[in-house]
Structure formats: structure tokens, C-alpha cells
Structure 1
Amino acid sequence: MKRVILTLLALTLLAAPGYAGTKDIIYASESTAKSLDPHDTSDTYSGAIERAICQGLMGFDKDMNIIPLLAESYTFNDAATEFIFKLRQGIKFHDGTLFNANAVKVNIDRMMTGKYKRSSLMKPVESCQVIDDYTVRFSLKEPFGAFVNAIAHPGSLILSPKSLETYGDEVSKHPVGTGPYIFDEWVSGDHVRIKKNPDYWKGKVNVDSITFRPVPESGSRLAMLRAGQAHYIFPMPAEMIKVAENDPKLDIIKQPSIIERYLIMNTRYKPFADVRVRQAVNYALDKDSIIKIAWGGAAAEADSIIPSNLQFYKKQAAWPLDIEKAKALMKEAGYEKGFEVVFLTPNASNRLRATEMAQQQLAKIGITGKIESMDVASFYNKLEGQKKDDANPIPFIGFGGWSASTGDADWGTRPLISTDAFPPAMSNFGFFSDKKVDDFITAGLASASPDARKKAYADLQDYVWKQAPWGYLFVDTLMAAKVKNLKGIYPMPDGAFLVEDAELTD
């Protein structure tokens, strides 16, 4: 069977167009684009493609440091309730529309309607006012210490007002921004292609196009790279690292991340509403084995609800593997005989393997069920379709992952475990709700003082770790691979990537 699969792959590669000697890049990923509307995107992969097309007032460099983009500077008051941004002049959108303060207001007002997946980024905003053609003022309803981080988030990218007027919400298939690349084509399930912006305000773009192609099977991604049919792959399958390292044509990239992986438990389903059951799940998980086998060792066991590289992280005591303790908790909660669930997961090779291992491990304490795997877009569509008032909630455990793309503890917690974050508003797909957690999250945003925020998030982590809203797993080590003559594509700690400086050398 393996020989047949490899033969078919080889024929596919031979039939694909050649790219050697051109300035066209193929980026192969395990993920599939869900949307190209930054205000209505919830996945990191789509957001990274959007960042090549559109820009925000602020953004992040490759190390997640906040940098000015369409804004040249900003000021704020001591109470963190008013922020004024001075905008760059002389910039045009790809459709020729002038970038100015009105363009900013059109985009912010759209987000403030509450209709979109990233509307929550502007939830603290009372109003966005145009002071003059190149100055905007944000007045907030209450202090929000992480507001500049929210402005830098890819969900706050600025679209052409003309494109919004022309396409409405169909702008998700026709994005128009100010970035280094112009949207060219999206063939659903196959690829997204962007082409260089010849009039980019920062200067010359070095490649003609970049095609983002979903390849969920890990071995196929690496085979494409080695055959010259891809220039960059992410993630690089850790279990095949030796093969890649021995290929003189390739470079391997490894770096820490802020991507945390976990098992989502639907707490609308009665057993998971009991903290003892959720704790039992954590005692039953052999995280070390999952990391070694499913993730090829390219991860570190989670030791807080947020990763260690995130602002205001505080280390917690590990959940040890203790099957007897897990069984005792299940018995105490009244589930000694266990119960059935559905295991949901994206079909990417490593996520499916991790879910299979978790399925086997949880069976030891009586939690059993079948696996449903699907592409990443379908997986999140399924989770987003859950309702808090479902009469018959699905008893699911889902393989989750999150990168706090603002670089701040707020975005590593509020969208995932606050009561306000139930879908479709944000990404609390397990419907976990706890007033103390909500109060800690509110306290973390009530001041711009780093000391006050640090205490609030330390208290939050101490408390919620024991409440076990998730089955805690691990934090990724980012691994990518590229051909040696490709420069300037940078992986980011949140699992996104920057392609502005991409270049193919001779």
C-alpha cells in the first residue's frame, strides 16, 4: 500500500507545474484557509495569509514585539481609556483608495457591530472618532490595559472601505489591503495565491507570487519539499527530522512557540460539568508519551493555562500520570463505570495521532468513544456551531490548540475560558464558566499597570489550573523546513508567519 501511495504522490508531483528558476513560492501547510476577512477569522493560518495582504495600525515583528505599521505613533492617558493614533500619509489600498482616518473608522465601526469573530477585540471601545484626516481617537468604555495589543492583532487589520462597500461580507473572498501582496486567487480546498504589490509603500517586493497549499499528511509535505515542489513547509514533521537534516538542499527551523494544545471538554454535557471528572481526565493523560510519539518530541508539557513565553505567565505544578487517582475521582463523581463521548480532531497527522493516544489513555478510566476527524476548517466550523442552550449537547472531547496572537495573557485566557467567550462570540468551545475566573480576567484588564495586571493573571492561573477546564497537554516547539535558497519567511511564536521579506536567491 505504501508503494502505491508514494507512486501516486510522485505522479502528482511530476504533473504539477515547475517553479525552479522563477520567483514564485509554494508554501505547504497542514492547514486550510477558512476566510480571508480578518475581522471574521478565528484561525492563525488564515490570519497569517491576511497579514500579507492587509495591515493594521500596529503589528508584530517576527519575535512578537509590537511595531508601528499604518500608524506612525500613538499616545494614551493614564487611565488607559483613551488612545490617539497618528497615521502614516501617502499610502493607498490595492484598489487605489487612499488610506486615511476615515478608512480606519469604517473598519472599526464594522468590528464594533459585534457580528464578526474578531468583534471582541473592539468590545471595550465606546467610539472611534476622526480628529483629522490622519488622526483617530479611540475612547473606551472602561480601562483596557491590553488595547494596543488588540490593535496589533491580525483581527484588527484594515480593509479598503471601497472593497467593503462593493463586496460586503463577501470581502472574505475579495480582500483588499495595503500590504506587500495583492490577493490573486482562492480555490477552496486547494490553494490561495497572492501576488506582489508593485506599488508597495515600503518598497520593492522580491517575489512574484506565493501559493499557500494545504497538505495535511506530514510525509507528503516533506516529499514535496525534497522534490522541489514546495519551498517552505509548516509544520515540519518531527518524526521525520533525521531525513530532512540529511538532505543538503534543506534548512530546518526550530524555535519556541506560544501555541498551547489541550483537550476541550464540553461542560454542557453533565459529566464534564463536574470538576472531579475534568481532574480525572488530567490525571489519566500520559502527556510525555503523546509528546514523544504523536509530536515527535517537539513540545514541552503544559505547566499553566498559558505558555511560558506569554506575558504574565506563572508556572504551576504538573498534573502527574496517576490512573488510580483518576479512577477514584471518577468513582467519587458517580461515574465509576465511565461514559461515552465523541473525540473530535482535525485530520492533520500529528493531531489525529495525539487524539488516538488520548482516546486509548482515557479508556483506562472508562471514558470511551469513536473519533471523528475532518479538515481544520470543518473542525472549527463544527465547534463554532455549538450553542449554549442546546437541549442535547454533544458529549465531545476535542483536540484544541490556541496561540495568543496579541502576545498578552488576556488573549490567552479571555477568549477561551470566560463566560462572555461562548461561541459564536469567541472560542470557549467547552462552555466553561466560573465567576471567579471572570473576575480575575476583568481585573487583568482594569489597569495598564504591569504590576496590577501581573497579580491578576497570577491569581487567575493559580485558581483555574485546579479547575481543569481542559485536559492539559503541551506547548509546541515550532518546526519548519525550507529550501536553502529561500530567505525572508519567518515563523512567529504564535504559529503564524511573515512573508513580506521573502526572497529566492540564485
Structure 2
Amino acid sequence: MMKTIKHSLAIVLVLLFLPPPVFAAADPGKVIHTVFEASDDGFDMVRTQNYYSGWVADAIFETLLTYDYLARPAKLVPNTAESMPQISEDGKTLTFTLRKNIFFTPDPAFKGKRRELTAADYVYSIKRLVDPANRSPSANFVTGKIAGLDELAEKAKKSGRFDYDAPVTGLYAPDRYTLKIHLSRPDSNFLFALAYGGLAAVAREVIEHYGTESRIHPVGTGPYMLAQYVPRSRVVLVANPDYRGFTWNFESSGDPGDDEIVRDMKGKEMPQVGRVEIAIVEEEQSRWLTFQEGKIAFDKLPQLAAPLVLDGDKLKPEYAAQKLRLYRMIEPEATFTTFNFRDPVVGGFSREKIALRRAIAMAYSVEDEITLLRNGQAIKAEMIVPVGVVGHDPSYRSSIGYEPELASRLLDHFGYKRQADGYRTMPDGSPLLLKIRTEASASSKIVSEIWKRGLDRIGVRVQFDVSNFADNVKDATECRLMMWGSAWHADYPEGENFLQLLYGPNAGQGNHGCYQSAAYDALYKKAMALPSGPERHALYVAMNRQMEADTAWSLHVSRVRNWLVRPWVKGFKKHPILQSDWQYLDVEK
């Protein structure tokens, strides 16, 4: 509480001495109240890939490129860059020119000086991803891609110190506003990586001033700044009065509802919303009650409420009468349960361990999840690369299905013997006990019940250890969990973003099961050397089959999201990649 008070006082002092705003459109009286269904993990996106952290961080920090708000499929556009980069004929050299007069929000780390964003800030921020001390789960965005960067990281591993002042042949700023990136090989996805929040610009002075505390003291150049932060409870953002602003000028993509959005928003100076208040409410029932009371501007319809609210893919008359708007989409995501390959019970590549994981996966009823938990608002995830992401094969069907009887015979064959109580032992006679980490929410309890019912059928005892989402992410990143149910939402719309989650060198940095398969890694490297297209996508299929052969994941679903929007919110259209959308919205007071 004292930290929160001190931080709030610091914000007030900063606001008193701000220079005159360049583009003061935001109205403090326009407030968006919203909720997150799980907690963040701070806002240093080099150190975390927490979905909710990214949602906030993307409103505070800025990347070189971003996405057109309305365009579908997702389309990259300049952000802090003046234009899309110049690309050399061989496709390996990218040259960016930054916009001038973009400033970080004032902070004591700048010692009273107004701090302009420069190309050197992007050089520093990208280097942070490969600093071994940061153990960044997003290092794969640049590892093996920028000439000379891996060598700098290797020197740091040997010396114990990362030299941020050392030159890198493939990453430098020849002048204040020019950034040069030389790729090791052409990479058609690298521009998408540059729009991801982990590659947003931070100021070196801030990181060095606050150290690890910078995760709760974010200082960026974006449309919003952190005004209040109570971990795992409340986040408040206020419009950045030093933000340059922009004019809402997006064109309809032809999707239903786009024309209305354009009529409501075109020509407005943005951002309009002056304050965003976010509450962390993990229980679906509580979120739904809060929304019904009119206290939330927009939210995902809780799955438990779908039968009450929806008539197929439309609102029932009583909800349509409230002038609520429904925005419906299949998330570009996959939900899954990870197996820890370093765990003595479920880990390893011996035939009996693969058989155990396969049997466990075959005991989970995805259809029960879709019916009992999702209320029909989900589709079965057949492959790692989900619907809506480049590289997804709509004809692909997983080789792992719900077959508890076959799973039982598989365990019998490999020596997992049933005892008098109906539960099995390991082949050596020692107890077989699974430990699945979960959360306290009602939806997590239903998933646990589905697991328990299926595992009981095949005679495998299970224990559910309950913690919170942020701590689970941390433990999973360090490969400390035997099994954990998670989800991955596309950071950019290409299959590589999902397949890297199982790449061996990413163990401990996003590869939460520490899955290290020589066969999978070889396919991954071969795919990454190819441009996006049929040949590369055929390798994606082969990687899926290899994952299934080893059963590194138990794949579950992709969720159908039904966003309910109050009539006073204008301009809402959920983007498949962008999470922070407050800067594109307006509200009627």
C-alpha cells in the first residue's frame, strides 16, 4: 500500500511539471472501466510474456511498427517509424527512420531533462532481449536473426556481464533518428516481431535507475501512463499529456459494423479516453454480475453466461434491447496442458514415458471442455498453429483423441500396473501421482474435474495444486511444474510464433515444458530458413506430428470470444493481435 501511495504521489508531482501538451485530446472525464480475468506480472515485457502484462504495456510503450486498427487480416503500419522500412534487395537489411519529437513521460531518472526517443533506444531495447541476466522469454524474437547479436550474448555468458556499449554489426544507429538492422538471413516474419511489445522502446536511464523495480515503474512514450498499481488487484492508466496523438483515420475493411465505427470515429483526435481503470476479477460469475450492473464498458462474455445471452451467434432479444453490441471472433490462440520433460514422473523420451504422456492426453475429453466449460463457445484445437494464423492447415487432424480404453491398454502394455484401489504404479512399482498446477477460478475447477474424471478411468491418481496465474507463469517459465494448463495468443499472425514454444533452445524462456527434441529442433531450423509458403508450412505439419509422437502437449481448444460492448463505447472492434485498444476508442460521458 505504501508503494502504491508513493507511486501515486510521484505521478502527481510529475504531472505538475509537465511541459505543455502537444496534442491534448484526451478528456479526463471520459473513463473506461474494464476487468482482467487474471493478474499481470509487471510491465517489463523483456522479462515476461504474461498476456495481461502485455495488454497494459502496449498502452505505455511503443514499437517501431503496429497494426492498422480495422484491417483484416492484420496489416502492419508505421508507429514510431516515419514509414515502413527500406529493405535491401537481398532482404537482409532494414532501415528505419524515426519520427522526431517523440518524448518519454517525465521521470526522475531523466534528472529534469526532457527525454526524446531516439534510434539508440531501440538498439538498447533489442539488446536487452539477449542479455542472459534477463532470461527473456521473448529472446527467440531476435536470437539467430540479427548479425552479431548472438555473439554478444555468448560473450556475456562467459564473462557474466552484458556489454550494452559494445557495437553489433547488425544493430546500430548511424544517427539520432536512423536504425539499421542487418539480418543473418531474409526473414519475412521479422517485421511482425518488431510490432511485438517485447521490442518496444525503453529508456536505458530508467532501467538502470530502477533495476528490477522497472517492471512496476514503466516509463514509455505511448498514449497512457501508469497512475496507480495495486498488484493482483487494480491498475489505473491516465492519458499521457506529453503524447503526440494521432487522428483516427482508418478505413472500413468490409467487415459488418466497420461502417458504423468509421462514422463514429473518423477525424477525431486521439486518444479521447482520459482514464482507464482495470480491476482484476478472476471469477467469471463476479465479472458477469459487474457487467450486468453497468460497471464495465466492455468485456468478454463469460462462458457460463453464453446460454443466457446468446441465441446462436446473436444476442437474445432482452440483451439486444439494452443496445449492447456483440463482437464475435475465434481467438488466434491454442489452449493446452504442458508436460515437463525434466520431471522424473512424466518427463523423458523413453518409450514408457512417452506412453504415459500419450495415455494421459487420451484421457482428457476436449468435447466435455467445449460443452461443460465453454458452453459451445470453442472449437477443438487440432494443431499447434491455430485457426486464423498463417501456417494453419484446416485439413489437419490430431493423432491424439479422447480414447480412455485404448489409453488403459497402453498403460497395461508398458507396465503401469493397477493396484487393489484401482490406481496404477510406475513400472518399477513406485507410486504414480500426477501433480497438475491450476488456479482458483471456477473455470479452472471444471478443467480439473474433467482431468480427474478421465484420469480415474485409466487408473492414474492426480493431485491439483492451486496457485495464482502470475506465479504459475513464473514457475512454468523455470520448468518447475509437472503439468500446467495454459494458453497462447498470437503475438503476430504467423505459425512460427506458436511453434517456437516447443523449440529446445527456448527451454526456460517460453518453452514451459523444457521439451528438447533433436528431431523437432531440426525441423524448426529448416522451416525458419525458408520464406513463408507451402514448403515452410509442410514443415509446420511435420513439427506437429513430431510433437504428437513425443506428446509434449495435450492440445485442447481455441476459444470463441463474444465481446459485449455498452452503447456508450464508440469505435470498438477487437483486433486479433493488438490488445491495448483504449487509444482507439471514445466514450459518451
The yes-or-no answer on 1:455 pairing with 2:466 is: no
Q: CA deviation at 1:142?
A: 4.7
Q: CA deviation at 1:36?
A: 0.8
Q: Is the 8 A contact 1:257 1:495 kept in 2?
A: no
In structure 1, what is the equivalent of residue 510 of structure 2?
Answer: 427
Unaligned runs of 5+ in 2: 1-27, 107-113, 149-167, 247-269, 310-314, 419-423, 425-431
In structure 1, what is the equivalent of residue 492 of structure 2?
Answer: 406
Q: Distance in 1 between matches of 2:354 and 2:486?
A: 19
In structure 2, what is the equivalent of residue 212 of structure 1?
Answer: 278
Q: Distance in 2 between matches of 1:370 and 1:464?
A: 25
SS of the residue aligned with 2:84?
strand
Q: CA deviation at 1:34?
A: 0.8
Q: Is the 8 A contact 1:103 1:160 kept in 2?
A: yes
Q: CA deviation at 1:347?
A: 2.6
In structure 2, what is the equivalent of residue 87 of structure 1?
Answer: 98
Q: CA deviation at 1:89?
A: 2.2
Q: Distance in 2 between matches of 1:447 and 1:201?
A: 39
Q: Is the 8 A contact 2:547 2:553 kept in 1?
A: no
* Residue from 456, 461, 477 that aligns with 1:368: 461
Q: Distance in 1 between matches of 2:35 and 2:215?
A: 21
Compare CA radii of gyration and give the structure with the larger one.
2
SS of the residue aligned with 1:225?
helix
SS of the residue aligned with 2:326?
strand
* Residue from 368, 385, 391 that aligns with 1:312: 391
AA in 2 matched with 1:57: L
TM-score (norm 1): 0.88
Q: Distance in 2 between matches of 1:92 and 1:334?
A: 65
AA in 2 matched with 1:400: S
**What does 1:185-224 correspond to in 2, within 5 Å?**
185-203=228-246, 204-224=270-290
CA gap of 1:286–1:68, structure 2 versus 1, over 3 A, is same
The yes-or-no answer on 1:478 pairing with 2:556 is: no
Runs of 4+ displaced beyond 6 Å = none
SS of the residue aligned with 1:38?
coil
In structure 2, what is the equivalent of residue 350 of structure 1?
Answer: 443
Q: CA deviation at 1:79?
A: 5.0
Q: CA deviation at 1:54?
A: 1.1
SS of the residue aligned with 1:23?
strand
In structure 1, what is the equivalent of residue 433 of structure 2?
Answer: 340
Q: Is the 8 A contact 1:257 1:494 kept in 2?
A: no
Of 100-109 and 487-496, deviating more is: 487-496
Deviation by residue 1:290-344 (Cα, 9 ceiling, x = unmatched): 1111122111001112202111112422433222211121122322433211121
In structure 1, what is the equivalent of residue 342 of structure 2?
Answer: 268
RMSD over aligned Cα atoms = 2.3
Q: CA deviation at 1:179?
A: 1.3
SS of the residue aligned with 2:584?
coil
AA in 1 matched with 2:302: P
* Residue from 279, 285, 288 that aligns with 2:364: 285
CA gap of 1:251–1:436, structure 2 versus 1, over 3 A, is same
CA gap of 1:427–1:498, structure 2 versus 1, over 3 A, is same
Q: Is the 8 A contact 1:225 1:482 kept in 2?
A: no
Q: Is the 8 A contact 1:260 1:302 kept in 2?
A: yes
SS of the residue aligned with 1:362?
helix
* Residue from 130, 137, 145 that aligns with 1:117: 137
In structure 2, what is the equivalent of residue 45 of structure 1?
Answer: 52
Q: Distance in 2 between matches of 1:201 and 1:498?
A: 17
Q: Distance in 2 between matches of 1:43 and 1:217?
A: 19
Count the aligned residue pairs: 475
* Residue from 108, 133, 139 that aligns with 2:126: 108
AA in 1 matched with 2:503: S
Deviation by residue 1:464-504 (Cα, 9 ceiling, x = unmatched): 33432111111111233232211234433358342211211
Q: CA deviation at 1:360?
A: 1.7
Of 452-461 and 208-217, deviating more is: 452-461
Q: Is the 8 A contact 2:340 2:479 kept in 1?
A: no
Q: Distance in 1 between matches of 2:474 and 2:122?
A: 29
Return the structure number with greater strand share.
1
The yes-or-no answer on 1:70 pairing with 2:80 is: yes
Q: CA deviation at 1:377?
A: 0.6
* Residue from 15, 20, 24 that aligns with 2:31: 24
Q: Is the 8 A contact 2:342 2:479 kept in 1?
A: no
Q: CA deviation at 1:112?
A: 3.0
Q: How many percent identity over aligned positions?
A: 20
TM-score (norm 2): 0.76
Q: CA deviation at 1:251?
A: 3.1
AA in 1 matched with 2:84: S
* Residue from 374, 377, 380 that aligns with 1:301: 380
Q: Distance in 1 between matches of 2:528 and 2:179?
A: 22
AA in 2 matched with 1:304: M
Q: Distance in 2 between matches of 1:322 and 1:196?
A: 53
